[in-house]
Amino acid sequence: MEPILQLKDVVKRYGTKPALSGVSFEVGPGKIIGLLGSNGSGKTTIMKLAAGLMQPTSGSVAVCGLPTGKYSKACTAFMPDKPLTESWMKVRDAIAFSRDLYPDFDDAKARDMLSFMQLNPDDKTTSLSKGMNERLQLTLTISRNAKLYLLDEPIGGVDPVARDKILDAIVQYYNEESSLIISTHLVRDIERIFDEVLFIKEGKVALHEAVDDLRMKYGKGVDEMFKEVYAQ
């Protein structure tokens, strides 16, 4: 089965500063993967490379067998850590904008998600709390019928109630023939939904394991293992 996302020997430098040093991994369909690491470890760089927003200094990145860029973006849905909406928009405007922008946007799924997320289509985006705004951003991203979903810190700075709602929505609405990668450092709050974890440390892959194998091999959960890897 062809991987959804494949990185081979990826190096990324910003000027002379290395952000990634020889990163290689593959992600298959039907998986929710935690991309974990401390701040500055290289997580966001991997997300932007996978989203086709930047190119590696060397090595290759492919989505659905296509080199990342113009064509791979059509099967990739990226939720950055900053809102995708404009200040003039109401929730319904944000939905309409995404519908016009993305041919794979699923209107029925979006309506269903708005209801699940308890979002009012008539509310202005500027009036939404941080937690409600995160729910909207997730709705805009997951309502696409993409092959690769990339969520960069989707629960950063939101309250526990909003956090649980966001995690429940991810599990309920993502397309199971696709892959979903979540970048986060809030491991304990989110580990329950991961199938696999990928630990990035100082620009390199420190660990890539299925969560079940992690427990069998090491007798530890994701949060415990995370603390061990990053304490060194």
What is the residue-level pLDDT of the chain in tens, covering all 232 positions?
789 999 999 999 999 889 999 999 999 999 999 999 988 899 999 999 999 999 999 999 999 999 998 889 899 999 987 887 888 999 999 999 999 999 999 999 999 999 999 999 999 999 999 889 989 999 999 999 999 999 998 887 778 888 888 899 999 998 889 999 999 878 888 889 999 999 999 999 999 999 999 989 988 889 999 988 888 6
- Which of 185, 147, 191, 200 is closest to 167 using CA atoms? 191
Instruction: Identify the burial level of 212 via C-beta atoms within 10 angstroms of its C-beta, where 0-12 means exposed, 13-18 middle and 19 or more buried.
Output: exposed
The DSSP call for residue 144 is: B
What is the residue range of 186's domain? Answer: 5-231
What CA–CA distances, in Å, run from 118 to 14, 95, 113, 199?
Answer: 41, 15, 8, 33
Contact 151, 84 (CB under 8 A): no
Whether this model's pTM surpasses 0.85: yes
We report the CATH number of the domain holding residue 87 as 3.40.50.300
pLDDT confidence of residue 5: 97
> Given this model, what pLDDT does residue 82 score?
80
What local confidence, expressed as pLDDT, does residue 188 receive? Answer: 86
The pLDDT value recorded for residue 160 is 84
Query: How many distinct structural domains can be found in the chain?
Result: 1
SS3 211: helix
What is the reported pLDDT for 83? 80
Residue whose structure tokens are 């113009």: 70
